[in-house]
Amino acid sequence: MGTKARHFSREFKRDAVQLVTKQGMPVGKVARDLDIHPNLLHLWRRKFLTEGEKAFTGKGRIVPEKAEIRRLRKELEKVKEERDILKKPWRSQNDTDEAPVMEEQRATHTVKRMCEVLEVSRSGYYALRARQVSMRQQENEELLERVRAIHAQSRRLYGSPRIRAELNEQGMRCGRTG
């Protein structure tokens, strides 16, 4: 079937590296003599040169400190991504959902991750994305366009009472009609 993984003792690795470093023997010859791959011997040598006597702690298992560092780096990346997601302005004054902004952010973040951070279900996001714009939303957008047009025509002098009166004159009922 398959070959069983071989495990080498710390002493074996250290002696093999010393044959190359201290006795100056070629890596290929030492690897052939010890029946190991030359790349493995290069890896051991590099590890021995960087870590010294702390190299070769066991059967390839990660030192607890390194495992903790790896876990903390992963957690830091996750927190940075959450920060980046939450930095975005997810709702404008007129929007009632996050779907349009999430669509823009799909290039940098996954939908799954954005939904987790914003506490939105993925199925809800996809349903909102597929949903048609409601009649009320269309009317609100038309009203907003008219309000902006009247405000611009008045050279930005009209406030809400005058704009409402102008809209009522145009036949569009809005706001307080009392």
User: Is residue 176 one of the residues assigned to a domain?
Assistant: no
- pLDDT surpassing 70 at residue 142: yes
Q: Do 139 and 118 belong together in one domain? A: no
Split at pLDDT 50, 70, 90, the class of 58 is: low
User: Is residue 147 one of the residues assigned to a domain?
Assistant: yes
Q: Do 119 and 69 belong together in one domain? A: yes
Total structural domains in the chain? 3
Q: Do 97 and 114 belong together in one domain? A: yes
The range of the structural domain enclosing residue 97 comes to 64-130
Say how far apart CA 148 and CA 156 lie, in whole Å: 9
User: Is residue 175 one of the residues assigned to a domain?
Assistant: no
User: Is residue 174 one of the residues assigned to a domain?
Assistant: no
Q: How far is CA 145 from the centre of its chain?
A: 37
Say how far apart CA 41 and CA 127 lie, in whole Å: 56
Say how far apart CA 20 and CA 14 lie, in whole Å: 10
Task: Note the pLDDT of residue 108.
Answer: 85
Torsion 42-55-3-25 (CA) sign: positive
Q: Do 68 and 126 belong together in one domain? A: yes
Q: Do 84 and 121 belong together in one domain? A: yes
- List, for residues 13-46, the tens digit of each pLDDT value: 888 888 888 888 898 998 998 889 999 889 989 9
Say how far apart CA 142 and CA 24 lie, in whole Å: 83
Say how far apart CA 167 and CA 112 lie, in whole Å: 44
Q: Do 124 and 69 belong together in one domain? A: yes
- pLDDT surpassing 60 at residue 96: no
User: Is residue 107 one of the residues assigned to a domain?
Assistant: yes
Q: Do 107 and 83 belong together in one domain? A: yes
Q: Do 124 and 140 belong together in one domain? A: no
Q: Do 115 and 140 belong together in one domain? A: no
User: Is residue 177 one of the residues assigned to a domain?
Assistant: no
From 54, 75, 90, give the residue that closes a domain: 54
Share of the chain above pLDDT 70, in %: 87
| The token pair that represents 55 in the structure block | 């190299």
DSSP per position, 70-91? HHHHHHHHHHHHHHHHHHS---
Q: How far is CA 147 from the centre of its chain?
A: 40
